[in-house]
Amino acid sequence: MLESINALRTISFGTVALRMILAFLCGTAIGFERSYKNRPAGFRTHILVCVGAATASMTGVYLYLNMGLPTDISRLGAQVVSGLGFIGAGTIIVTRNRTVKGLTTAAGLWACGVIGLALGAGFYEGGIVATALILFTETIIAQAATHIKTTPEFRITLHYRHKPALDQVMRYCKDQRVAITDLRVISRSDNEHPNYAAVLSLRPSRRLNRDMLLAHIRNVHGVQEVEES
């Protein structure tokens, strides 16, 4: 079967049109799923990335085989992969609650560009199979991932008078397998007595009773007040 399509791996008007159409279809398939989920990069962006990458790949092959120029046929493709990192970064955002969104879309754009490179080089099998696997990942596996139970991140504001109190709180969080993802400390003087406030972002690795956690922190020597924000 693979030998029957070897004739399609040469550069001609027919094979160029075939590779462009395949890149268009693969980019449309992946981008449509992103548009359906109202993601930042839709099917038009994916089409442009996939077709553009295919064109770059074919250009490198054409310059080397048809024009006989002493060039590296993979150089254009390498530049495409580097450029996709810049495009994908534009889809990644950090929300107010410090969660990251857009990573799947950015990875999909990068993969879409690589598919375009494969199709442009005549590697039809790899491009088509990769498209099918990406669609399977973004649909079936994405639905399965929603059933995975995770513990959300939350923040607490800690008011205390003694610096060792914060160390004890952090040590207790570590013992309870609660990761501290962010820490901000503010200090001020009140009638010559130091007063500190710390904002901690906590991410439990398992189910956790927040009320018990806050109650224990309140009992730490030197802690004045704890509130969840």
Q: What is the pLDDT of residues 118-166, one digit of tens each?
A: 999 889 989 999 999 999 988 888 777 666 666 777 888 888 888 888 8
Q: What pLDDT is recorded for position 127?
A: 93
182 in helix, strand or coil? strand
* Buried-state track 64-98, b at ≥16 Cβ within 10 A, e below 16: beeeeeeeebeebbeebeeebeebbeebeeeeeee
Q: What pLDDT is recorded for position 2?
A: 58
- What domains are defined for the chain? 3-145 (no CATH), 154-228 (3.30.70.260)
The token duo for 152 is: 């959300």
Answer whether residue 1 shows pLDDT above 60. Answer: no
To the question of pTM greater than 0.85 for the whole model, the response is no
Is residue 180 within 8 Å of residue 173, measured between CB atoms? yes
Q: What is the pLDDT of residues 194-228, one digit of tens each?
A: 788 888 888 887 777 788 888 888 888 888 888 88
User: What is the residue type of 106?
Assistant: A
Count of positions (residues) in the chain = 229
d(CA 52, CA 201): 42
Is residue 179 within 8 Å of residue 203, measured between CB atoms? yes
Q: Which residue has the higher pLDDT, 99 or 8?
A: 8
Confidence of residue 35 (pLDDT cuts 50, 70, 90): confident
Q: What is the pLDDT of residues 75-131, one digit of tens each?
A: 888 888 888 888 877 777 766 666 667 888 888 889 999 999 999 988 998 999 999
d(CA 46, CA 50): 6
